[in-house]
Amino acid sequence: MKSEPDEVSIDDLARLGHVPWFGVRNYQARNFMRDAMRPGDLTFFYHSSCPQPGIAGIGRVASEPYPDETQFSTVNPYYDAKSTRENPRWLLRDIAFVCKTRLLPLIELRQHPELAAMPLLARGNRLSISPVTPAEWSFITGQLLGLTHCKE
């Protein structure tokens, strides 16, 4: 799950405990969040659109999907005139803090052939939410981050 750190950073998530993952306005990313995620699933918290993009921590899906309120507010940059309360187009889930990790930069992720098929690493990928296979998760948490304390 990608977030711009000036909007919500891993430190913000740690301080707040959990946040609603609002503002997703791509159908494929929305569908990943709506259909593939389950409460309790762990996620990488990725800082994007910043000087050093990369994995900054781990979060946990903390809710079922529910309507993103920002789609209904005409003064919000995420407003969607075609969305209605009766038929909302955009959903969100709450994400809870699990742990902060060392920053694992995008450039380092790209160096490992084990991760070559990750959607996150595809050139031009702009999705804020993309899937991670169990093998990719294990490689990143084990080989690259050496985590034992973040696993639930």
> pLDDT by residue (tens digit) across 85-115?
999 999 999 999 999 999 999 999 999 999 9
pTM above 0.85, yes or no: yes
Position 125 confidence tier, pLDDT thresholds 50, 70, 90: confident
- For the chain, domains (ranges, CATH) are 2-144 (3.10.590.10)
Whether the predicted pLDDT of 151 surpasses 90? no
Rounded to an integer, what distance in angstroms lies between the CA atom of residue 131 and that of residue 104? 17
Whether the predicted pLDDT of 150 surpasses 80? no
Q: Give mean pLDDT, residues 9-38.
A: 96
Q: Encode pLDDT of 131-144 as tens digits.
A: 999 999 999 999 99
Position 123 confidence tier, pLDDT thresholds 50, 70, 90: confident
- 47 Cβ partners below 8 Å, 6+ apart? 2, 3, 4, 5, 9, 10, 53, 54, 55, 56, 103
Q: Encode pLDDT of 29-71 as tens digits.
A: 999 999 999 999 999 999 999 999 999 999 999 999 999 999 9
pLDDT at 86: 96
Q: How far is CA 53 from CA 2, 40, 46, 107, 117, in A?
A: 9, 25, 7, 9, 19
- Cβ count within 10 A of residue 88: 16
pLDDT at 149: 66
